[in-house]
Amino acid sequence: FRFIIWICVCTLVFLSLQFHDLIPAFMVSPDGVMFEFPSFTSQKEDKGSSGGDLHRFVESLKSRLPVEYHSRILSSAKSAVKPVWGCKADNINVSPPVDKFIFVHVFKTAGSTMRSFFDHYATLCPSKSYATLTSCTSIEPSSLNTSIWKPCVLKYDRKDGERHNLKQTPVPKENLHSYDMIGGHFRIGLMDHLDDTGSVNPRNRHLVFVRNAAMKYISGKVYIRTKAQRNLTSYDIICEIEEEIKGMIQSQEHHMKYTNYLLTPTQARQRQKESWSYQQRAQVVMQNLIDYNCTIGVVEDMTGSMEMLRKILDPSRQASDLFDAYRGDASIKANVSPLSSESILETLRQEYPETYNNLTEFVKYEQQITDFAMALYKLQRQVQNDGR
């Protein structure tokens, strides 16, 4: 009998070793997520991947979406990585042609870095114009179909290679029609209201960056606190996190800031009226990433993200040096934090396990969105590298 048990155990161990690599790092359960960083493959590995990986990525995404979305996952990924134009106004056959490339700046997801990138892109590629729009996540519903958008601020733009500091508020809606690229703090789908319909405009392409949810939360905490008070230490931040999360967990509240940007203005109003649960909010955000064919960038993989963007915005490699400057550890970074979020998270993991566990619980719905978006990012890179 003992011999039979021993054989069974050995068989299970063997099978687990054989199939370990087939388990996606981003798999989620209905009640939560595996709180782990995704395992990104290198560009060489991506190029050599088989069609089986596409199937695996699609199947993992299906587990988080209603049935009616299942047939659209792959087509959304293909749309998300199509080239939109070239740096020097070279003609690229895209159907339908892209009107605007829209960067939705989610707080603490490399947004300042990417706004700097688009500003530099519009300098090197003067045929393309760029504008930064801020303070627009709380746009008044009554403003959407009017000529003035309140309380939005048109911070600056670059046209014909020249930068103009504007700080224009409120924003005349007609002023936004002339830009090829718009980035900043506003909600996904906002630019659909430029033509007063509010329906999804297939000629607009959205770019969204995501980040490990705990790291994103800590980075936001560091940013806000160090702006208000200098000379704060990592220990000060940890103490504040401990105190804040304990009360939130006790009252069953969760950190959910993606919804400030990844729910449309109409959905945001509906959420307030109907008191959506955290899970409902997360679900709608994930569906929006498919509905809007969002190109996904990942803070933890800037190298892969910038390579994917290069193929979208500069397929003929006329501005390769610019994309190279924003990828990898030595990349250009804007608005760098004085304290390391990664170091604080690791300290919590090793020295404050209870607080760390509370933190993962506190951000679990944000992590669901991050995990889903990271899986979508992997699918998009696979599709792009396979040339499908």
- Binned at pLDDT 50, 70 and 90, residue 227 comes out as confident
pLDDT in tens, 246-299: 889 888 999 999 999 999 999 999 998 899 999 999 999 999 999 999 999 999
Q: How many CB atoms lie within 10 A of CB 64?
A: 21
213 pLDDT above the threshold of 90: yes
Could you give the CA distance from residue 128 to residue 118 in angstroms, rounded to a whole number?
10
Q: How many CB atoms lie within 10 A of CB 37?
A: 12
Q: Which two tokens stand for residue 199?
A: 């329906």
80 pLDDT above the threshold of 90: yes
Q: Which two tokens stand for residue 273?
A: 């009226």
Segment 197-205 mean pLDDT: 83
140 pLDDT above the threshold of 80: no
Could you give the CA distance from residue 289 to residue 295 in angstroms, rounded to a whole number?
8
What is the pLDDT at residue 146?
A: 87
- Binned at pLDDT 50, 70 and 90, residue 18 comes out as very low
DSSP-assigned letters across all residues of 192-252: GGGGT--S--TTEEEEEEE--HHHHHHHHHHHHHHHHSSS--HHHHHHHHHHHHHHHHHTT
What is the average pLDDT value for the chain, to the nearest integer? Answer: 84
What is the pLDDT at residue 12?
A: 44
What is the pLDDT at residue 145?
A: 83
40 pLDDT above the threshold of 60: no
Could you give the CA distance from residue 76 to residue 295 in angstroms, rounded to a whole number?
9
